[in-house]
Amino acid sequence: MAEGPDIARIAALIGDPARSNMLLALIGGRALTATELAGAAGVTLQTASSHLSKLEDGGLLTQRKQGRHRYFALADLHVGAMIESLMSFSATRGHLRHRTGPKEPELRKARICYDHLAGDYGVRMLDSLIARGAIKAEDEALTLTAEGERLLGAQGLDIGSLRARRRPLCRACLDWSERRTHLAGTLGAALLSHFLDKGQARRVDDSRIIRFSPEGERQFLAQFPLPG
């Protein structure tokens, strides 16, 4: 018998189409009800409840209770990172869904990946920080430099507070649409929160799309220039 982690159990949980659709619906970081997840999966509420129970038992989901209502969310950031990595891997192997629509260009431009910025703008942000010496990249290891701490501190981020958290400050996350790396970790999450709090961007209702205002987009492109 093979020893070590049981990847077959996790693969079986994710491999069911209804359960995979539920996980994809939750990768935006929001908690949803069983009814909402049933709609995302295209199954009845009774069937959805069975799937949700299995995902929760497998450590992929967690429940949040608010009054009489129950909400489901990804268990932690590791689940989100795993799903995003699987999406990227699937894209590199040509396993794509061909249902396109008006939202797709916006999803590819800027979207939320669990709690940080992804898409073209997410990749641009990391590329700019690396090019300016704010982040040092060695393979998949990302490190904030002293210059990066100065630069981002001047933009209003409390780097000392971010360093004090248990979660890594910088983490590389493979982007499924760009098939390159964007910035995750507490720094990636803090930057997205900064854009939202400052009114540079907003999250589109019932979507993973992050939409920048014209002025917010101008500021973002100025904050994160790319070498000519």
Please state, in angstroms and rounded to a whole number, the distance separating the CA atoms of residues 84 and 62.
Answer: 18
70 CB-near residues (< 8 Å, 6+ apart): 33, 34, 63, 64
Contact 95, 47 (CB under 8 A): no
pLDDT over 60 (residue 101): no
The pLDDT score that the predictor gives to residue 124 is 97
pLDDT top residue among 96 and 196: 196
List pLDDT tens digits, range 122-159.
Answer: 999 999 999 999 999 998 899 999 999 999 999 999 99
pLDDT, one tens digit per residue, over 20-41 is 999 999 988 889 999 999 999 9
> What domains can you pick out in the chain, each with its CATH number?
7-75 (1.10.10.10), 99-223 (no CATH)
Q: Which of 224, 116, 222 lies closest to 169 in space, CA to CA?
A: 116
pLDDT at residue 1 in the model: 52
Q: Could you tell me which residue, 40 or 99, shows the higher pLDDT?
A: 40
Higher pLDDT, 144 or 179: 144
Q: Report the alpha-carbon distance of residue 155 to residue 157 in Å, rounded.
A: 6
pLDDT over threshold 90, residue 106: yes
What one-letter code names the amino acid at 80? Answer: G
pLDDT digits (tens, 9 = 90+) for 33-92: 999 999 999 999 999 999 999 999 999 999 988 888 899 999 988 898 888 888 878 877
Burial code of 9-37, b = ≥16 C-beta within 10 A, e = fewer?
eeeebbeeebbebbbbbbbbbebbebebb
Tell me if the pTM is above 0.85. no
Q: Who has greater pLDDT, 206 or 37?
A: 37
| pLDDT reported for residue 100 | 46
Q: Over the stretch 180-202, which tens digit does the pLDDT of each residue have? A: 899 999 999 999 999 999 999 99
pLDDT at residue 2 above 80? no
pLDDT of residue 191: 98
Average confidence (pLDDT) over 171-177: 86
What is the per-residue pLDDT for 4?
Answer: 75
* Confidence band for 96, pLDDT divided at 50, 70 and 90: low
Phi, psi of 29 (to 5 degrees): 90, -5
* pLDDT given at position 102: 46
